[in-house]
Amino acid sequence: MSKPLSDHDRKKQISVRGLAGVENVTELKSSFNRHLHFTLVKDRIVATKRDYYFALANTVRDHLVGRWIRTQQHYYDKDPKRVYYISLEFYMGRTLQNTMVNLALENACDEATYQLGLDMEELQEMEEDAGLGNGGLGRLAACFLDSMASLGLAAYGYGIRYEFGIFNQKIVNGWQVEEADDWLRFGNPWEKARPEYMRPVKFYGRTEHHPDGVKWVDTQVVLALPYDTPIPGYRNNIVNTMRLWSAKAPCDFNLKDFNVGGYIQAVLDRNLAENISRVLYPNDNFFEGKELRLKQEYFVVSATLQDIIRRFKVSKFGSREVVRTDFNKLPDKVAIQLNDTHPAMAIPELMRVLVDEEELDWDKAWDICVRTCAYTNHTVLPEALERWPIDLFAHLLPRHLEIIYEINRRHLENVAARFPGDHERLCRMSLVEEGGQKRVNMAHLCIVGSHAVNGVAQIHSDILTATIFKDFYEMDPHKFQNKTNGITPRRWLVMCNPGLAEVIAERIGEDFIRDLDQLKGLLKYVNDEAFIRDIAKVKQENKLKFAAHLEEHYKVKINPNSMFDIQVKRIHEYKRQLLNCLHMITYYNRVLVPAAPGYHTAKMIIRMITAIGEVINNDPVVGDRLKVIFLENYRVTLAEKAIPAADLSQQISTAGTEASGTGNMKFMLNGALTIGTMDGANVEMAEEAGDGNLFIFGMRVDDVTALDKKGYHAVDYYNRLPELKQAMDQISTGFFSPKQPDLFKEIVDMLMHHDRFKVFADYEDYIKCQEQVNELYKNPKEWTKKVIYNIAGSGKFSSDRTISQYAREIWGVEPTLEKIPAPDDI
């Protein structure tokens, strides 16, 4: 009998990880040793694990640099239309393994490190997550960068190099405690500072109106220092660029009245300027009108537009001579995509540059601006929409406020001409909201200043045109589109779940990695016994691995044969973690009975989940039949472990509140079944996999609207449903918080009296649906057949498809799967 393969030997057989040729391995070992030698400081003889990580990262980066330079040469030679994706968030996670996957180096690096007596997985664990995002919006931007490179688009991601990313979350005595995410403390081997492209960004000051134009004077200047990160496409030798700006104070202190105290204070004041790129705002579902946030938004936009215009003017590689000055061609050479309203200042800033600096007349400049910019909306929640106070604008960006007023004046003239006498419509459509404190509505600015506006799932796009943007849709229906979100199959299948990727590749080949629609080819294996076994085996292996991780890090032992029922969402009332809590309590009560956001609210919800876990996980009657674990400090790297292990994915937001979701797609692709409402992309997932292969429950959007009209009374459900009443009474009387019986009084009060998201209305249907889930799970073969339908139906949700649609229908560029020559090719 042959002995079982070691983990290392088994990984070598996974073809999607790339081939480990002898020459390749030898060259990698040599490069690794060279980097290790230069990484070690003189007074240290023994290398640490971090030294080994940096040596491996630099070795892999060597394979990127030549391709990076070749790609830029290729773009300058061809002079294609360039795409600029501006986002305040890029939630990149780790870079090392993703780069190895896209360059087909994974097996070769694994073999090289193995021969050097090192474990590559251990070295990968040394890398810090680049957590420059809060959740879906930032992670979407990261997926889009991967797809734009893989589809050969001349595309650039522009954002801020936050010194501190999304906070590290610790759970102490059941409560969330935040710690700063000092992700750069050991350095970042993937970035390259580019001081030669430093740009000045102006704030404050005043405007002077002269016969020859407007001058913005007496401003304060902050310097924007770019850091470039390479973004490799999937095995096509294309390497694009993500450019993140860091704020630096200028050096020209005003020292005419020199004294030591004044000098020291001047140096210390530099921190105020550099605070702009210090920290990521941690809340992306609630608008906070802070001056620092508006500064961040303008900072990234101003620096980026200077860069875009510099690149537009220069068309030959390596040349800084101005060779293109006709701005009429800007929309033919530049596409700017605004990821939500955060970069909305790009519109008035582009107008300022064209009118004040390049001296174009207003109408010509406006035409160029609209044809260049496009806007993606990510939310319908009113509290999340950006509405900046006029006073803050006047103080911080006085010229831009004048430009916005002029944009609004002309816009309202057009509305009045189109809908004469409709004063209320004028008020609704104005960029400036009157009444109380005057504010600039940034979503309205984006719509008026863009040629295309899109939602991120069909149901979301339909809600936009039927409700919050209805007036604008009636004015310019041609502007509005849908672009359903997607995820990159490189990170979210090949990298995080190579076992599943290999099982799929054995049946349909490897081309599905760049054309995910080919997963439909798995439908012919739905009843194939061997395939069903292989899919189930991979899932079980992933669950065993994740169970070991949970035992090590959370000290909770779970039964790997139990259903792994996972809800991965930012904590917010509309995502209804509370509905999940009520199910946990209900299920716990059934086991016991012998029988056949605001920010504060988010913290309370976390405390409730941990309290429920404390009771359930320590109840000997329950044993290992039910465990509740709150995954603390959830980030991209933990997602890469959790998602491949999930059996059930919870997507239970109130219908009409989740714009799209992308976590739902990751779970689907990795072989989890979905329990969910008809919200966001769940609707399209059900269309692709077949309604019967998801567990759909609850109100539809029309039902929610009808209930709003009729009036939602939580107490009616409380009195009618005994199990709901029991669960709520346990929460309110301190069953889960015996030392503080009224700990969850606020949550009980919210659920009973002012729950905008109607948790109780869906409770009964949700519990019944969970019973269907439990029944099917007892039949592994039938469960796995539904899993196969879901994997086969997930092709639509590749970000390659999303980006191809943006490219053709918004940006006016054609994606390609063509490879460019590698640097060592002649």
Active site residues: 378, 569-570, 575, 662, 666
AA identity, residue 737: S
Cβ neighbours for 56, distance < 8 A, ≥ 6 positions apart:
32, 96, 109, 113, 120, 123
Residue 119 Cα distances to 56, 113, 710, angstroms: 11, 6, 62
Tokens of 816: 């390609």
Pairing mode, strands 648-651 and 565-566:
parallel
Element (H, E) at 750: helix 745-753
C-alpha to C-alpha distance for 635 and 139, rounded to whole angstroms: 10
C-alpha to C-alpha distance for 93 and 809, rounded to whole angstroms: 30
SS3 for 436? coil
C-alpha to C-alpha distance for 23 and 821, rounded to whole angstroms: 20
Q: 503 with 540: CB under 8 angstroms?
A: no
User: Measured over all CA atoms, what is the biggest interatomic distance in the chain, rounded to whole angstroms?
Assistant: 92
Tokens of 163: 């010194």
The DSSP 8-state label assigned to residue 512 in this structure reads: G
CA nearest 790: which of 680, 689, 701? 689
SS3 for 593? coil
Which residue's entry shows tokens 């990262």? 57
Residue 578 Cα distances to 607, 625, 750, angstroms: 11, 21, 11
The DSSP 8-state label assigned to residue 695 in this structure reads: E
C-alpha to C-alpha distance for 663 and 228, rounded to whole angstroms: 28
Pairing mode, strands 213-217 and 206-210:
antiparallel
C-alpha to C-alpha distance for 123 and 140, rounded to whole angstroms: 27
SS3 for 644? helix
Pairing mode, strands 220-232 and 199-203:
antiparallel
